[in-house]
Amino acid sequence: MKIAAIQMQSGLDPEANLAALEPMLAEAAAAGARYVLTPEVTMIFPENREQLASVAAPFEGHPQLARVGELAKQHGIFVHIGSLAVPLPDGRFANRSVLFGPDGRQVATYDKIHLFDADIAGLNAYRESATYAGGERAVTADLGEFTLGMSICYDMRFPKLYNALANAGATLIAVPAAFTVPTGQAHWHVLLRARAIETGSYVIAAAQGGQHANGRATYGHSIIIDPWGRVIAELAHDAPGVLVAEISADHVADARQRIPALANARNFAMPEPLQP
């Protein structure tokens, strides 16, 4: 089975982002890909919450998603929109992945579970939870020969999610992302390879890359990794592009037989905290 990751440089106009995506979907389909993943914040990469609120469309009847469904049907492929912002009743948003089947219908959705809330020395506190509400359930989907596990960006720092996906049958795990340049240089490859190795799964990560209209710079380097942790394809830059690789279910079975970490895992008790 061939799969593809699309690397984008999404801006502030959803229609312009969709226009940039369409020829890359066609390129991936022409290369034989049956499953195509796009990055996090595919449809709009906002500067702030107010800007996001002014353009984010309701999920039901979403105009760009409707067009993506048409494209999936036109090409006869699975199209996985890495994420887009969906307005919620409380004024926040869901960071939502949407998978379309070859018939153009929505197969599955996943709302990003882990949100980045941090107090960083010398910088203002960052509260992703002020804009987004975290999801509460892990999601898998049937791709035929493979079972897809869904995640988004910051999720990759939480191995428990990937272990749960693999134990639920996932053999290909998607990680759409918009990684910053410093964290990408430091952690992108090692985290994604670790998630592949510990689950014995393929990992496909479609990234945002380059300088965006919102002032941010993202790392790019979309990548596909095999169940042994080997990088089998990578866009070694931050420019838009299409990455295609062929994957095999036999390689998943082989890796899990050679290192049966999922089967060997055990529950264990933790020591009591030390008392002061």
pLDDT band at 273 (very low <50, low <70, confident <90, very high): confident
Q: Is residue 119 part of a domain?
A: yes
Q: CA-based angle 69:71:76, to the nearest 5? A: 95
Q: Is residue 56 part of a domain?
A: yes
Confidence (pLDDT) at 120: 66
Identify the residue whose tokens are 């830059």: 237
Which stretches of the chain are assigned E, i.e. beta strand? 2-7, 35-37, 78-87, 93-100, 106-111, 117-118, 126-127, 140-142, 147-150, 172-174, 202-205, 209-211, 217-219, 223-225, 231-234, 241-246
So which residues are the catalytic ones?
40, 112, 153
Confidence (pLDDT) at 184: 96
Q: Is residue 270 part of a domain?
A: no
More confident residue, 125 or 52: 52
Q: Could you tell me the CATH number of the domain that includes residue 189?
A: 3.60.110.10
Q: Is residue 139 part of a domain?
A: yes
The stretch 38-67 carries a mean pLDDT of 91
Q: What is the pLDDT of residues 101-124, one digit of tens each?
A: 999 999 999 999 999 998 766 556
Q: Is residue 100 part of a domain?
A: yes
Q: Is residue 132 part of a domain?
A: yes
Q: Kindly report the average pLDDT of the chain as a whole number.
A: 95
CA distance 19 to 2: 24
| Contact residues for 259 (Cβ-Cβ < 8 A; gap 6+) | 197, 200
Confidence (pLDDT) at 145: 95
Confidence (pLDDT) at 118: 85
Closest CA to 148 of 218, 54, 252, 243: 252
Confidence (pLDDT) at 47: 77
Confidence (pLDDT) at 48: 81
Q: Is residue 52 scored above 70 in pLDDT?
A: yes
Q: Is residue 78 part of a domain?
A: yes
Q: Is residue 126 scored above 80 in pLDDT?
A: no
User: What is the count of structural domains for the chain?
Assistant: 1
The stretch 11-27 carries a mean pLDDT of 97
Q: Is residue 26 scored above 80 in pLDDT?
A: yes
Confidence (pLDDT) at 189: 98
The stretch 124-133 carries a mean pLDDT of 85
The stretch 134-158 carries a mean pLDDT of 98
What is the domain extent for residue 183?
Answer: 2-262
Q: What is the pLDDT of residues 209-267, one digit of tens each?
A: 999 999 899 999 999 999 999 999 999 999 999 999 999 999 999 999 999 999 999 99
Q: Is residue 49 scored above 90 in pLDDT?
A: no
* Mean pLDDT lowest among 44-58, 62-76, 125-139, 211-225: 44-58
**Quick check: 255 and 213 in contact, CB under 8 A?**
no
Confidence (pLDDT) at 122: 58
Q: Is residue 199 part of a domain?
A: yes
How many beta carbons lie within 10 A of that of residue 18, not counting itself? 18
The stretch 153-159 carries a mean pLDDT of 98
